[in-house]
Structure 1
Amino acid sequence: MADNRAGWLWLLPAMVAATLIMGAALGTRQSFGLYIAPFSFDHGVPVTLIAFAIALHNLVWGLSQPLAGAAADRWGGAPVVGVGALFYAAGLALSALRPEGSMLILGLGLLVGLGVSCTSFGVVMTAVGKAVTPERRSMAMGLASAGGSAGQALLVPLAQAVDAGWGMAASLLVLAAIILVTAPLGLLLDRRRPAGPVVVKAAMAPPPTTLRTALAEAGGHAGYRMLTLGFFTCGFQLAFILTHLPGYLVLCQMPAGLAATALAAIGLFNMGGSWLCGWLGGRYRQPQVLGWLYLVRGGAIAAFVFLPKSEVSVLLFAAVMGVLWLGTVPLTSGLVARLFGARHLGALFGVCFLSHQIGAFLGSWAGGLVFDLTGSYTPVWIATVVMGLAAAALHFPIDDRPVARPAYAGP
């Protein structure tokens, strides 16, 4: 018991650093919806262009995540977080000082996308995963994700308050400063657990793998392919709900302000949900936990769409979705580490996360496209239910046994 407590105390600085970095990075991007009206009404930027810039950062984030993860695998989290924070802050500052179409695409789209890829899950969460033993990995990642959610809940009200008092530019610049302040905390991410007793003789240790070999090994693994396809569903569902739930509630003639309350409830319940999913992933097989998560999420969406709407049902849906919101992240990254080890975890999780972000881009875009064509969000709601069932079917049969590698007799 004492050794277990000492292990967690030793990890505490890295956990706190991960919480603050991810809280700043993810909380900042959660606030972007607040600036659509100021960009449009005060500066004359078309809403469609603003929405495209915000959607673009999701796609850039996904495309650059494998590269950011591979860089962190090779050089550690600290330099990657530092560079990413500079990109992130520059994108926010550019958008604040030059609020026009092309600058928003460059700032909120390209630079923020690059920045968030270096300061969120693929770098920060995997650094936590590498710093702990395999037995503690799922729980540690769940705690880091839960702490990051707390940061999201704090930064959105702060951004709104500064915007109301001093304007949009000041609000974006404050967020940029917060990103820069958290950047040095990346130095705490590269802590490694103290060396334990040698259990396997060096002559029998598995050979070190190159990144190219690891990618080929993962690409040939059926479970990894199913995991990656399932993560696409997660991105699609979350982005669609985050982007279009407010408009859907307006169509359902729900009270004004209920959408903001529902989104806040999602963030609040996500704190406990991320921890819970991490805990479950440490006690039960992670593919099974993921399968049930997608199954329950699909069922919750179906009940919300097809049952009568009320304020209570909306908030209940938000609470259930909050519990399930980002619980996929510690489970997915932990399963990747279990299958292939932690050496190339950043890159391998980054490839999975690319699938997630392609789903996020399409979820945001498809919601608007289908509504423009049909005047209804119902077809996309139904698609999210079907995709949830398909993702569950993909995850339940995943073989989570670590990949066997031949022993070798040394260098």
Structure 2
Amino acid sequence: MSLHSSPASSTALEQDARRVSTDHKVDPSEIAVGVVIGRASEYFDFFVYGIASVLVFPKVFFPFADPLTATLYSFMLFSLAFIARPIGSVIFMAVDRKHGRGVKLTIALFLLGGSTAMMSFLPGYASIGAASIYLLAALRVAQGLALGGAWDGLASLLALNAPRERRGWYAMIPQLGAPLGFIVASALFAFFIVNLTSEDFLDWGWRFPFYCAFTINVVALFARLRLVATDEFERLMEKGRLEPVPVFDLLRHHALDVWIGAFVPLAAFALFHLVTIFPISWINLYTDRSAGEFLIVQCSGAIVCAGAIAASGLIADQIGRRNALILSASLIGAFALGSIIAPLIFGESAIGQTMYVTVGFMLMGLAYGQTAGAVTSRLGSRYRYTGAALTSDLAWMFGAGFAPLVVLFLASRYGLAMVGLYLLSGAAATLLALALDRSEMRQM
């Protein structure tokens, strides 16, 4: 479906984007910029929520529980978005087929930014009781649905236009959005934690990052629509046959490929929240270290992660994508074994905590940099667009969605060795999935 030929389905933003872009030729570098901006805005929303789920929500929405139990309750709500995400993909793929990619993106990103911004206005448990928890849960589900609909095909289009000898490099570009989104979110929280009293932070300071989300998503939306609204983009998408298909049609023909694809990134995704969200909860609950200071340490780790993501592209182009994924999963497995054998490296030692976060971010970057659409080359061109979206949704749900909840629950009862055990299971799942998939992991 051509967006240019379907004015009835165009939004005002899409029409504005088309006016400045219709005659513009889409360049791979511009696709790359659009991909990074779009992913960074999505990750900003999710990391803002993730950080608040540790530092704010247990006290504001679950004041009736002890700190550990309140944090576990908060992590239960955190997981809701990852359950909702594949449902969002099913819903928004139908919108895409009927009204076009621009309409789908506009609805999804307004829903994502709007639901995040609305959280900034939520009253706490002290004001309206349990209703505050239900409202927060509903908005969290809305975030997950929206992220499922935010899949725009730009990463797939970028891969299709990448030179064969540079596919690893181009595959890593969309993944840079994760550390960038985390840096902005954690820096905002660190600023307010360091400069406000605890009372002011819990009263109004935490709300500002949520309020910023809507503006950031509007900017990201226009940046993406500037590409999506062009005739050149539509021609490239049609050339690559990157069109939405019904999810059930995809599963009828490629269910096994989707499941394998969902488990290939589990080493990276298991580590994802264990170096971002979980450490903040442990620091907050079991140490005297300032959360603001630790967030700054994590910002430094995210910079290391961005460098490792870039390095993963160079490595994949030299040794092959499959070998790069095996190498990164093996390194994560070794890191996990070290965490099991010497769990106290993270415990009370500030140096140990910093080392854990820095090494963890580096390994995550090496692994995460090459996980995008890892086995979607097996799907066939007709199913790549929908298959890449659903594979990503399932990988996030199984690998990352429940990680903070499960690991905090286990570690609080059986010790920090459980962190390493969880990571080891993710590395084992990745290596098993790679053993089942003998393809060369060609990027789309």
Q: TM-score, normalised by structure 1?
A: 0.77
The 10-residue stretch of structure 1 (68-77 or 89-98) with the greater mean CA deviation from structure 2: 68-77
Deviations 1:126-167 (A, max 9, x none): 343345455544322312322552243123313554685863
Q: Give the conservation status (yes or no) of the 8 Å contact 1:128–1:189.
A: no
- 5+ residue gaps, structure 1, are 1-7, 197-204, 404-411
Is 1:157 aligned to 2:197, yes or no? no
List aligned pairs for 1:1-400, cutoff 5 A. 10-36=27-53, 37-41=55-59, 47=70, 48-65=72-89, 68=92, 77-99=101-123, 100-107=132-139, 109-119=140-150, 123-132=153-162, 136-161=166-191, 164=196, 167-190=205-228, 214-221=250-257, 225-248=259-282, 255-257=289-291, 259-307=294-342, 309=345, 310-329=349-368, 331-353=370-392, 354-371=394-411, 374-396=413-435, 398-400=437-439
Aligned length: 383
Q: Distance in 2 between matches of 1:256 and 1:305?
A: 26
Q: Distance in 2 between matches of 1:156 and 1:320?
A: 18
Equivalent residue letter for 1:105: A
Q: Give the conservation status (yes or no) of the 8 Å contact 2:104–2:149.
A: yes
Equivalent residue letter for 1:226: I
Q: Distance in 1 between matches of 2:431 and 2:259?
A: 14
CA RMSD of aligned residues (A): 3.9
Cα distance change on mapping 1:153 and 1:124 into 2, 3 Å? farther
Q: Distance in 1 between matches of 2:312 and 2:94?
A: 26
Deviations 1:265-287 (A, max 9, x none): 33212211222223333343322
- 5+ residue gaps, structure 2, are 1-24, 65-69, 124-131
Deviations 1:60-110 (A, max 9, x none): 224434655676688765333321111112212332223321110111x11
Cα distance change on mapping 1:246 and 1:96 into 2, 3 Å? closer
Match of 1:407 in 2: none
Q: Give the conservation status (yes or no) of the 8 Å contact 2:304–2:358.
A: yes
Q: Give the conservation status (yes or no) of the 8 Å contact 2:271–2:360.
A: no
Give 1:225 deviation, angstroms.
4.0
Give 1:297 deviation, angstroms.
0.8
Identity of aligned residues (%): 11
Give 1:347 deviation, angstroms.
1.7
Deviations 1:36-57 (A, max 9, x none): 4444545666635433222212
Equivalent residue letter for 1:352: T
Q: TM-score, normalised by structure 2?
A: 0.72
Q: Give the conservation status (yes or no) of the 8 Å contact 2:322–2:440.
A: no
Q: Give the conservation status (yes or no) of the 8 Å contact 2:250–2:386.
A: no
Q: Distance in 2 between matches of 1:70 and 1:129?
A: 24
Q: Does the residue aligned with 2:439 lie in a helix, a strand or coil?
A: coil
Cα distance change on mapping 1:255 and 1:172 into 2, 3 Å? closer
The 10-residue stretch of structure 1 (305-314 or 47-56) with the greater mean CA deviation from structure 2: 305-314
Deviations 1:348-375 (A, max 9, x none): 1233221331332332221233245x25
Q: Does the residue aligned with 1:97 lie in a helix, a strand or coil?
A: coil
Q: Give the conservation status (yes or no) of the 8 Å contact 1:55–1:361.
A: yes
Cα distance change on mapping 1:348 and 1:263 into 2, 3 Å? same
Q: Give the conservation status (yes or no) of the 8 Å contact 2:106–2:221.
A: yes
